[in-house]
Structure 1
Amino acid sequence: MQSKLVNRSAFEAETAMEIRLREAYSSLEPKLKAPFPLTIPTPEEYSALNRAILYCILCETNIAAEVHIKHLHGIVTDGYEYFTALLVNVVNELYGSLVDSAKRRLIRVTHEMVNVAAVGFDGLLVALLRQIVGGDFGEENLWLSFEMVNLFSSKWECLIEEMPVVMTGALYVFLRLLADHCRVNVPNIEPLRRMEIDFCVRVLRENFSSCLMVGRDLIRLLQDLVNVPELCAVWKDLLYNPKTFKVIEFVDISQIYSTRTSKWYFLLRLTPQMESQLKFLLTHVKFGSQKRYQSWFAQKFFSVPNRSGAVVDIVRFICCSVHPSNEIIHSGIIPRWAVIGWLLKSDFQSYVAANLKLALFYDWLFFDEKMDSIMNIEPAVLLMVHSIPRYIDITHTLLEFLFMLLDNYDVERKAIVSRGISTAFQTLVRKGTIIPIAPNVKSGIPNDSLIWQLSINSYWNCG
């Protein structure tokens, strides 16, 4: 029998979440029609009634859904906490397979949860933001982008006051999406692009004190949007007129450079499925046996044209959010640097390749051992070291890019960048992550490794 909730082939089994919702509806169907019972349900009955109401909202007509939302308001006793948790689980587990009508009612009920300040609605917004796939210009994905930026814009006052951190997460997401949306000209994208620009500019102009918590990756995203006039104006004010933002403690962009971006922001640009597959690859797959897993991952997430832009988000996630334990490091599991090396050798557009390298080295530019984690900078240096024997061109390419960043990233603040790179190298050597090497014909180390040694020495003295 065809499901009313999800698109599923005849050979696919129901998920546990779908079964729970449907069974609750089946057992309580008589109580889901007006006039509604006035009896106070037990905790078990209350949970089942929440599941049944959610099933009705997602599966019945729009008019019926509105009735069930009112029913929910009448029976709620926990600030909507259980109902909102159900919605989060539906988004994380079922969103990609939901029928179109269920997706639209899901957005409708999300608006309602924001209106009533439901307990946990921030987690619901985050879950929906993560379902927007970078580089996907399909109608459904652009629709979700539009609905979410519209939600954040229309609920501005409530969200700014109640959930400023979530607003900065939305800023991070829509700045990142804008970089994709401004590179293409697909039908009907201009209204979405306009709303994203207006939202991002408003957050930056009117709530900059909260934006500071995003940290240095806010600058990385803004630099990718300097061709957007409104955001270029914001960028110029950051550089030359910081008082415009009316934050007393903010006097120079270097303050943002010195703030490491929380791993939570990087998670926002990966779908739960992408996150779980990456974590599986980096915690269970033995080095040398990863090819078929990588091929599956590429086919799943990069096969669609323009989807490759997500590789930049993946590199930042791997560097800053996936910090393996010593047990995993010494277990023979594929290391982070090898996965990034595979991505670097993939055939992506030139701007994607450049942004990938910037994502790999970004924490190097402002590294401070007191504030930053050595795990964030480790993949880049290990990739360069391990590429020397067989892939010296990768080592050359990465070092050349690092020199280019040193000379050109922020000329007016070159001393900051020089100090960051120098500190990064010194910390890596002192902690034993790398050992300075010299050409040695007997040991089999190529003479090209001299470039590596000289590069380290030059960076030690670059500050």
Structure 2
Amino acid sequence: MTSKLIQTVGHEAENPIGVCLREAFGLFESQLRPPFSLTILTPPEYLNLNRAILYGILCEPDLAKVHIKHLHGKIRDGYSFFTNTLTKVVTDLYPKLVATAKVQLIWVTTEMVSVSAIGMDGLLVALLRQIVCGDFTEGNLWLHSELVSLFLAKWDCILEEEPLVLTSALYTFLQLLADDGRLLSNSKLDALKQMKIKYCVRMFREQFHLCFKIGRDLVRILQDLVHIPEFQAIWKDLLLNPGEFKTNEYRDVSQLYLSRTSSRYFLLWITPKMETQLRFLLTHVNLGSQKRYQAWFARKFLSFPERETLVIDIVRFICCSHHPSNEIIQSAVIPRWAVIGWLLKLCGRNYVQANAKLALFYDWLFFDERLDNVMNIEPAILLIVNSIPKYIDMTHTLLEFLLLLMDNYDVERKDIINHGVLSAFSMLVRRGVVRSLDVVVNCDAISPFLRQRLGELFSGTKAFVSKELQPVLKVCSLNLLEASSVETQNTTTENMH
């Protein structure tokens, strides 16, 4: 029986999940029409019936209501297996699903939310992750239109059963709104934009205690939306009128600064396919052998100018969601800092590169050793140090950017930021990520102005060790970073190793 579920190329093997669903449908097809059997199913039969019904819903739209009634009558595990199987379909098959199956997927997801199915939170997150950053094709716009509509329509149900999923949608839709600024206005897109604004504003105004749980990256994303009047008002209240949010938890934006964002949010803007490729690169590819993998990744995911902003989210993902084991760190596998250096070189537009560097340093600004993870700040310092002396322009631009952030990011709360950055440097030395800050303060390759600024910053701290204990700096001999300034370059992956 040929699959009606996915689009396959002639030489391409069918996905095991698709095969499993199709075979289950073949076994139970005769039992999927009323009158339904009243026979008590064995556990294996029950699981196969769930699979068969799911395949029927996705592939037989005209009979979908019959299939869902059958499911409701047979269910005995709170829809757990059905919903988890549906989540696997989204994660593994969504890009290959035929158009009618995608429509049915949204329909059955709405049904699962309506019955408060066990696992509906994971299903909704899986769907949110299928929205592709910088992709303004009809199919991608359709998906996030359907999801915004679903979250608005099922607001009360989700709020009661799985309220944190609302924050995942907020994080995603805020990112989408930031992307919308690069689209030409038309009535259809403007209507979608207003739906997303409606959802996000409702979250801030009615459920700010949930928004607060996102942490500091909520502020980082909001800064890209201050040109939208609704968010100008929210930003003003965040800074000046905390009482407008009607929660005793929130008194000042510094509370958000000092709240670490969970790694689950950084996965929302990275599709499962992209995550798989990034983790493979950072787990199995040796330094020196990465060029073709990086070139393939760039062609696959970053080939269009609109996708360039995705670099920002990848940098945040690498810093905060991919923490390699000690075994990987001590191996020949390409380190995170080298991949981030390559990504920074891909940024052709200045504002994208600035936001990518902000993503790299963001946890530095508010670092608290009691709450924050040193692995989040490790890539930045290693990129700074390992770029000396061969790629000194990279070292310069990163140090200059960090000092600029300290001076200008939030002048009224500069003491918090200075404390965070100094705490970050101190933790990096204490944990042995670098043996001493002398490596930057007393490096002749670094400009005298930067060395002076750093010396002033570190004066009075205990972040130094004696030069006798300082190891010889190992500088990578591979062409990871071109010697030209990252502020003006437009290098492609073909020039990167």
TM superposition score normalised by structure 2: 0.89
Please name the residue that 2:487 is paired with. Answer: none
Please name the residue that 1:134 is paired with. Answer: 133
Please name the residue that 1:53 is paired with. Answer: 53
Q: How far apart are the structure 2 equivalents of 1:226 and 1:271?
A: 27
- Asked if residue 456 in structure 1 is aligned to residue 454 in structure 2, the reply is yes
- The alpha-carbon deviation at position 334 of structure 1 amounts to 0.4
Deviations 1:367-420 (A, max 9, x none): 111111111111111101111221111111111111111111111111111111
- The alpha-carbon deviation at position 2 of structure 1 amounts to 5.7
Q: Please give the residue correspondences for 1:161-176 in structure 2 after superposition, counting only pairs within 5 Å.
A: 161-176=160-175
Q: How far apart are the structure 2 equivalents of 1:447 and 1:122?
A: 52
Please name the residue that 1:240 is paired with. Answer: 240
Q: How far apart are the structure 1 equivalents of 2:444 and 2:403?
A: 22
Please name the residue that 1:24 is paired with. Answer: 24
- The alpha-carbon deviation at position 186 of structure 1 amounts to 5.7
In structure 1, what residue type is equivalent to 2:282?
L
Q: How far apart are the structure 2 equivalents of 1:278 and 1:19?
A: 27
In structure 1, what residue type is equivalent to 2:242?
P
- Asked if residue 270 in structure 1 is aligned to residue 292 in structure 2, the reply is no
Q: 1:224 is paired with a residue of what secondary structure?
A: helix
- Asked if residue 12 in structure 1 is aligned to residue 3 in structure 2, the reply is no
- The alpha-carbon deviation at position 462 of structure 1 amounts to 9.7
- Asked if residue 328 in structure 1 is aligned to residue 328 in structure 2, the reply is yes
Q: How far apart are the structure 1 equivalents of 2:185 and 2:103?
A: 22
1:438·1:449 contact (CA, 8 Å) conserved in 2? no
Q: Which moved more, 1:32-41 or 1:97-106?
A: 32-41
Q: How far apart are the structure 2 equivalents of 1:455 and 1:462?
A: 14
Q: How far apart are the structure 2 equivalents of 1:91 and 1:153?
A: 21
Please name the residue that 2:476 is paired with. Answer: none
- The alpha-carbon deviation at position 270 of structure 1 amounts to 0.8
Please name the residue that 2:309 is paired with. Answer: 309
- The alpha-carbon deviation at position 451 of structure 1 amounts to 5.9
**Compared CA separation, residues 263 and 38, structure 1 to 2 (3 A):** same
- The alpha-carbon deviation at position 305 of structure 1 amounts to 3.2
Q: How far apart are the structure 1 equivalents of 2:182 and 2:356?
A: 17
Q: How far apart are the structure 1 equivalents of 2:441 and 2:252?
A: 47
In structure 2, what residue type is equivalent to 1:437?
D
**Compared CA separation, residues 387 and 462, structure 1 to 2 (3 A):** same
In structure 2, what residue type is equivalent to 1:292?
R
Please name the residue that 2:420 is paired with. Answer: 420
Please name the residue that 2:489 is paired with. Answer: none
- Asked if residue 296 in structure 1 is aligned to residue 296 in structure 2, the reply is yes
Q: How far apart are the structure 2 equivalents of 1:415 and 1:300?
A: 43
Deviations 1:334-361 (A, max 9, x none): 0000000000111432221111010000
Please name the residue that 1:436 is paired with. Answer: 437
In structure 2, what residue type is equivalent to 1:168?
T
Deviations 1:19-44 (A, max 9, x none): 10111111111111221112121111
- The alpha-carbon deviation at position 457 of structure 1 amounts to 2.2
- The alpha-carbon deviation at position 438 of structure 1 amounts to 5.8
In structure 1, what residue type is equivalent to 2:445?
N
1:260·1:372 contact (CA, 8 Å) conserved in 2? yes
Q: How far apart are the structure 2 equivalents of 1:47 and 1:320?
A: 37
Please name the residue that 1:393 is paired with. Answer: 393
- The alpha-carbon deviation at position 169 of structure 1 amounts to 0.9
- The alpha-carbon deviation at position 51 of structure 1 amounts to 0.6
Unaligned runs of 5+ in 1: none
Q: Which moved more, 1:417-426 or 1:285-294?
A: 417-426
Deviations 1:2-61 (A, max 9, x none): 63111111111111111101111111111112211121211111111111111111111x
Q: 2:414 is paired with a residue of what secondary structure?
A: helix
1:88·1:123 contact (CA, 8 Å) conserved in 2? yes
1:425·1:460 contact (CA, 8 Å) conserved in 2? no
Please name the residue that 1:260 is paired with. Answer: 260
Which consecutive aligned stretches of 4+ in structure 1 deviate over 6 angstroms post-superposition? none
Q: 1:292 is paired with a residue of what secondary structure?
A: helix
**Compared CA separation, residues 387 and 455, structure 1 to 2 (3 A):** farther
In structure 2, what residue type is equivalent to 1:363?
D
Q: How far apart are the structure 2 equivalents of 1:3 and 1:348?
A: 43
- The alpha-carbon deviation at position 452 of structure 1 amounts to 6.0
Q: How far apart are the structure 2 equivalents of 1:450 and 1:284?
A: 40
Deviations 1:113-161 (A, max 9, x none): 0000111111100100000111110111111101111111111111112
Please name the residue that 2:350 is paired with. Answer: 350
- The alpha-carbon deviation at position 287 of structure 1 amounts to 0.7
In structure 1, what residue type is equivalent to 2:101?
A
Deviations 1:197-240 (A, max 9, x none): 11001001100011111000000011111001101100000000
In structure 2, what residue type is equivalent to 1:369?
E
2:286·2:333 contact (CA, 8 Å) conserved in 1? yes
Q: How far apart are the structure 1 equivalents of 2:396 and 2:293?
A: 28
1:175·1:200 contact (CA, 8 Å) conserved in 2? yes
Please name the residue that 1:97 is paired with. Answer: 96
Q: How far apart are the structure 1 equivalents of 2:69 and 2:191?
A: 33
In structure 2, what residue type is equivalent to 1:184?
L
**Compared CA separation, residues 261 and 438, structure 1 to 2 (3 A):** closer
Q: How far apart are the structure 1 equivalents of 2:11 and 2:430?
A: 56
Query: Share of identical aligned residues, percent?
Result: 58
In structure 1, what residue type is equivalent to 2:287?
F
In structure 2, what residue type is equivalent to 1:142?
L
The CA RMSD over aligned residues, in Å, is 1.8
Please name the residue that 1:405 is paired with. Answer: 405
In structure 2, what residue type is equivalent to 1:436?
L
In structure 2, what residue type is equivalent to 1:64?
L
- The alpha-carbon deviation at position 436 of structure 1 amounts to 2.7
Please name the residue that 2:158 is paired with. Answer: 159
